[in-house]
Structures are given as structure tokens and as C-alpha cells.
Chains A and B, each alone.
Chain A
Amino acid sequence: MSSPLDLGLRAQAAAIAAGEVGPSELLDAALERIEERNPALNAVVETFPERSREMLAAAPEGPLRGVPVVVKDEWPLPWRAQRFGAAQLLAPTAAAESGPYRALRDAGAVIAGVGNMHELGAGSTGNTSVYGPARNPWDTERCPGGSSSGPAASVAGRLVAGAVGADGLGSVRFPAAYCGLTGLKPTFGRSAMDGHHMAPVTTLIVSGPLCADAADCRLLGSVLFGEELPATEPAGLRIGVVRDAVSEDVTAEVGAACEEAVEALRAETGGEVREIALPGLEAATLAAILIINSESMNGVRPEQLNQLDPELSPIARGSLKYRMLLPAAAIVQSTRVRAMMRRRLAALFEEVDVIAWPTIPAPAPRLEEPLVELPSGTLSADQANVRGAALANLTGIPSISMPVGLSSEGLPLALQLQAAWGRDELLLDAAEALERANGRRWVESLPPLAEATPTEA
């Protein structure tokens, strides 16, 4: 028998509920697999078997009873303060019960480890972290995506079947895309955020699930939302596509895979594809960057920037200092752009149900040189990726990334769908419809590392 760890999240939960797999056995298997595979991935930065076993011993009969999961290093746990992937966090932190922790605990889940992340959440690649970079299970010389790098690499490497990430500018969707997973960025405010050091001020960051497929994301999402996310068949889906840099300035393979997926989704739902105009995307991207950077400096005093930990990366040190110089007028202008884009989206969602474009313009770049070659030239992956992600964070709408193919180098390609506020369920429905349309080919594809040396249960 192959390991129960190779089952998806809901299958693990069902196997435990049916008595086919013992929860202690599953936790032990997860911890063993972390020991076995994590040296190649650096996905999990800390395990705490005693604490995990205590959680399991106290686990209620919830929907995830006994299922091991990983939580990004972005929330405190009762026995561990978050480090945010960095040598120093300017905000005060302490071990505590965070919203995601409580949601997981109350659902009966077991936190098996803490997932690595891009330093200070400030990158889409995951190649910089106080713990060293996490690595992509599809090619360990490649970026796993960020900033939820460890959660994604943990699930793609089948260390666990579900992980909790956070998304402030695409940080769930990029790693989901690079690692061939499904990742949901919920509607702002809908998922558990308590305990996050930016929770009192952020208007962009949300917690979100990373899993192999949409149904698993629905299960973990329901836990994080604290409510059922019912499934329905999306019929007659009206899919909006934008002819802009976000969909045109992509590699040929990304463009072809996403077009094929959109057509498959249209056919599966008996829907239609409409070309739509969404002016202002460039300004929206910058507005989101400026707002999140200014919010990240909440309570920071200039003198703190003269005492930065020397272990912070040079980019983090310089960027933190630069954030203090952002012009207030640009932040205010960003709020006007936010209002403009929210009104434009509200009008657009009268005409279409979802807006589709590639999650990432190119597959995962190399860790040591995270650049992407696009029709417009060579760009840093961060610069290129954020163009497709920031709108959802700026405006609050939900968004989902799902795998839609593999590149000629065997790296995942991904499509992103966005819907109106509160229609997270529709995105999950659409992602499941696409899985049906393509025979679940991409959500069941395994990276070489996860195919190797299956652990016996």
C-alpha cells in the first residue's frame, strides 16, 4: 500500500473517519516524510511532535480530525511566535492562539509543522528567507513561489495534503501556480486572520488554503472561513478575458495552456467567453503595492530602522527604509484608484461571472536568478508576477489559481479566475468544473520528488 500521505486532504479525513487509517499513524507518517523529503525542499522550518500529538489527543470530531497540515510562518501558534521568514520583524510578536490555529484546532486538524516563506512576505519567488530558500518539488533548483513557499512545497511534495498560506499580493496564488497546486485567495475578511501582526491595519492580506485540488481547497477553506462552502454545478459560466499585458505578455506555453483551459471551462459549463476591457490595471498594481508597503510600516519608528538585524537581507533592509519615504499623496491617490477599480469591477461582474487570466506569466524561474523571459523582455519574476495578482488584493475580490498544464521543462502552468465579492464558492465550482473537463490530469500530476520512494503505511 502506498502511504496515506499520498491521498488528498478530504480522502485523508474520510479514511480516518472510516477507521481505515489511524490518526496517530498518519501523523507519524507525516513527520517521517518531513524528515525524509524536507532536506531537499526546506519547506518545513520547524516541527514539534509533542505539540502535534497533544493537538491530536485533544482533537474534536471535526471535518479534519487527525489530518496533518502545515501553517505558514506568518501566524503565531500557542507555542511559537511567527518569524515571517525574517531575522527580525519590526512589529511585536509572541506565541499566541491565532485565528487559523483556532480554526484548524476546532476542525480537529493537527499542525505538523511551520512552513517556510519569503522574507517579510515581500517576494513572489520564495528564494529569500532567514531559513534559506524553500525549493520547488518539480525541480529543486527552481523557485517554489512566494511568499507562501513552504506551504506550497509541503503540499506539492506530499509532506501534507493541505496548508494554510497568506495572500497580500498573490502570495497564495504564485506558489500554488509554481508548484502545480490549487490555491484560493478568499474575499477580503472572509477567512481567519486574527493574530496576524498586520491584522489590525491590513486591507489586503487574507489567509487561504493550498491543496492539490479544488475540493480539498473547499474543505480547508470552509475551516478557515468558519462556514460551509457548498458546491454547485456552474452552468452557463460567463468568462471574461482581458487582452492586456497580464494575459498577453506571457510565454507562448502559458498563453496556450490558459487559452485551452478557458475554452475547456466554457465547454464544460455550457458558457461563453467574452472579451472585456479593464483599464487601469497598471495603476491598480502600483496602488496595491503602495498601500501594502505603507500598511506594513504601521507603528514603525525611524530609529528602529537604525537597529536592523544584520541577518536581514540587504534587499529587506533597503526596502524597509525606502518605505518610510513613500509620498503620502501617492498613498491617497492609491485609495482613489482602489475606489475606481472596485466600481469598474462591480460593473464588470454584472456582465461576466469570472475574469480569467494566467496566474504567472512564465513557469518557476531558477532560485539563483529569478528572472523570466517574456515577449516584452527580461523581467524579475516579482515585477512580472504581481501584475496578475494585485487587483484582487486591492479590491477585495476572491481569486483562485489552478494548474492547467506543464511546460516543456516539466514545470506547472496555471490559470487564475477572479469573481465578485463573496463568490468564493463559484471559483471553487469553476475550478472543479475545469478539473472534470481535463480529466483531473493536472491536479493529479505529481512532481518527480513526490513520485520517488513512497513511504509504506
Chain B
Amino acid sequence: MEGAASADEFIPAGLASLGIEASEVDLAVMAAVHGLFWPAIIDLLALDTEGMEPEQDPDLSRAPR
């Protein structure tokens, strides 16, 4: 699985770069989370959002301007 495979490199490297320590249990949980979300994150990044600019200072209590 793409997410599970990349977890072996991505998670230890990311933690090390931030100086965050992790136990074996932490790493196992993170690998599971990564496996669940990473493929969807890749899909999200690949989504064509041309012309869908974020709202400027959105007021979430109202319809978009």
C-alpha cells in the first residue's frame, strides 16, 4: 500500500527533522494513521482546483460573498 510503504521513510524523517521522539507504539499508530490518510492527501493535492480560489477573510457564519 502506497501510504504504508511511504510511512517507513516519511514518518521517521519528519519526526527527526522536528526533534520529536517516538516509541515503537507511537510509530505503529502513526503508520496506521498515515496508511489511512496519506493516499487521500495525495489525491487531494492532485485535485484540480483551478478557479476555486480560497475566500478572502471568509465569514463562515454566512454564505460566501
Contact = CB atoms under 8 A, between A and B. Distances in A.
Interface of A: 187-190, 203, 282-283, 286-287, 289-290, 302-303, 305-306, 314-315, 317-319, 321-322, 324-327, 329-330, 332-340, 342-343, 345-346, 349, 383, 395-396, 420-422
Contacts of A335: 54
Contacts of B18: 302, 324-325
A339 B52 contact: yes
B61 A383 contact: no
Interface residues of B, number: 38
A337 to B, nearest CB: 7
B61 A190 contact: yes
A339 B10 CA distance: 30
Counting chain B CB atoms within 10 Å of each CB, the highest count among A318, A343, A349 belongs to: A318
Nearest to B34: A322
A336 B54 contact: yes
Nearest to B51: A340
Contacts of A303: 19
Given A318-B29, A325-B10, A396-B60, A336 B41 contact: no
Contacts of B5: none
A396 B15 contact: no
Contacts of A396: 60-62
A187 B45 contact: no
B29 A329 contact: no
Q: Is the interface of A mostly helix, strand, loop or mixed?
A: helix
B33 A337 contact: no
A75 to B, nearest CB: 20
Given A326-B41, A421-B61, 7 more contacts: A286-B40, A302-B19, A303-B19, A321-B15, A336-B54, A342-B55, A421-B63
Interface string B5-41: 0000011001100111110011111101110110011
A305 B29 contact: no
A420 to B, nearest CB: 7
A319 B33 CA distance: 7
Contact of A321 (B20, B44, B63): B20
Given A306-B20, A306-B21, A317-B26, A203 B60 contact: yes
Nearest to B19: A302
Nearest to A315: B29
A86 to B, nearest CB: 15
B44 A334 contact: yes
B33 to A, nearest CB: 5
B47 interface: yes
A340 B64 CA distance: 10
Contacts of B21: 305-306
A322 B40 contact: no
Nearest to B63: A346
Given A188-B60, A334-B44, A325 B15 contact: yes
B41 A321 contact: no
A149 to B, nearest CB: 21
5 contacts: A187-B61, A286-B41, A318-B28, A333-B45, A342-B58
A289 B41 CA distance: 11
Contacts of B27: 318
A283 B47 contact: yes
Contacts of B19: 302-303, 306
Given A303-B19, A339-B52, A330 B41 contact: yes
Given A286-B37, A302-B20, A314-B25, A337 B64 contact: no
A330 B45 contact: yes
A267 B26 CA distance: 53
Contact of B47 (A306, A314, A337, A422): A337
B45 A421 contact: no
A340 B30 contact: no
B22 A189 contact: no
